[in-house]
Structure 1
Amino acid sequence: MDTVCIIDDDPIYVYGTKILLNYNRNFCSNIVVYEDGHEALVNLTSMVKSGSTFPEVIFLDLNMPIMDGWEFLDEFIKLPFKTKPIVYVVSSTIAEWEIEKAKSYDIVKDFISKPLSFAVLEDLFQNKY
């Protein structure tokens, strides 16, 4: 896989996830990070429109300032993708309704509870995301 995108405002989580992704270069060669849904939407929209290399996998947090994960998903699914990325909602929530809501989006492959671990990443990438 070429590019993974992390959309999360927690610098400690982002740092840890980057370490996990960099630990095994088979996971990905590039990591793109956005601190909120709006920043991500603007930049990812630009990538889609320009035909730039687009992340194959996106790890999306739900609770962020400016534009949360729900608002991001509602706008993101409207983009004209050539190939849709796989989105994993990664959150510390334990609310069943949020887990079910996340899974209701076609673009969302699964819900992952924080923190992300090496074992979880290895499982995702061995199973081709």
Structure 2
Amino acid sequence: MNRNKTICIIEDDQNYLMLTKKMIEFTSLFKEILTYRNGKQAFEGLMDWKSKNNSLPDIILLDINMPIWDAWDFLDEFCKEVQGWEGLIYIITSSIDKVDEAKAAEYSLVKGYLKKPVSFEKIIEIFNLN
């Protein structure tokens, strides 16, 4: 099993962010876990990461509703910069709005729409898909 993968969590809720990070650490599946509190911080951080490491995370877990830049702002900018990237983005949200789910489907980089909380089993499944 390849444990050289990097995962990124973009989430403004500090409690949910820490819970998800701890759960991912517990799996021992990822060599690196990046975390950001809003879409703008994530975009800038990931572009910096890309310039330093010549790569991007394999998986991004992206909350929808965040301050400064929400998921849609992040995706609009990220998609412009990462042609050919083979990673996976999963929207993670507590939203039950079908409009959000339909909007997520408009982005080719978004591979799934997950309701919070994301389970331990789902993290393992996502790892195995990438």
TM over 0.5: yes
Query: 1:3 aligns to what?
Result: 6
* 1:23 lines up with 2:26 in the alignment: yes
1:110 to 90, 94, 112: 112
Identity %, equivalent residues: 34
Q: Give the TM-score normalised by structure 2.
A: 0.89
Kindly indicate whether the alpha-carbon contact (under 8 Å) linking 1:48 and 1:79 is maintained by their aligned counterparts in 2: no
Partner secondary structure for residue 109 of structure 1: strand
Structure-2 residue corresponding to 1:36: 38
Could you list the per-position Cα deviations for residues 73-93 of structure 1 after superposition, in whole angstroms to 9, with x for gaps in the alignment? Answer: 011100044533210000000
Higher helix proportion (structure 1 or 2): 2
| Residues 1:66 and 2:54 aligned together | no
Residue deviations 1:8-45 (CA, integer Å, cap 9, x gap): 1111111111111111112x111000001011111112
Counterpart in 2 of 1:95? Answer: 97
Check whether the contact 1:4–1:56 (CA below 8 A) recurs between aligned residues: yes
User: Residues 60-115 of structure 1, C-alpha deviation per residue, up to 9 Å, x if partnerless?
Assistant: 00100011111110111000445332100000000011111112200000000001
Q: Which amino acid aligns with 2:62?
A: L
The offset of 1:50, in angstroms, is: 4.3
Q: CA separation in 2, counterparts of 1:120 and 1:80?
A: 25
CA distance in 2, matches of 1:95, 1:115: 16
Does the aligned pair in 1 maintain the 2:64–2:71 contact within 8 Å?
yes
Contact 1:48 1:81 in 2 (8 A): no
Q: How many Å apart are 1:2 and its aligned residue?
A: 2.0
Q: CA deviation at 1:121?
A: 1.2
- The unaligned stretches of length 5 or more in structure 1 are none
Hey, what does 2:123 align to over in structure 1?
121
Flag structure 2 segments of 5+ consecutive residues without an equivalent.
none
* 1:12 matched to 2:15: yes
Paired residues of 2:10 and 2:37 also in contact (CA < 8 A): yes
TM-score of the two chains, using structure 1 as the length reference: 0.90
Partners in 2 of 1:2 and 1:44 — Cα distance? 15
Q: How many residues align?
A: 127
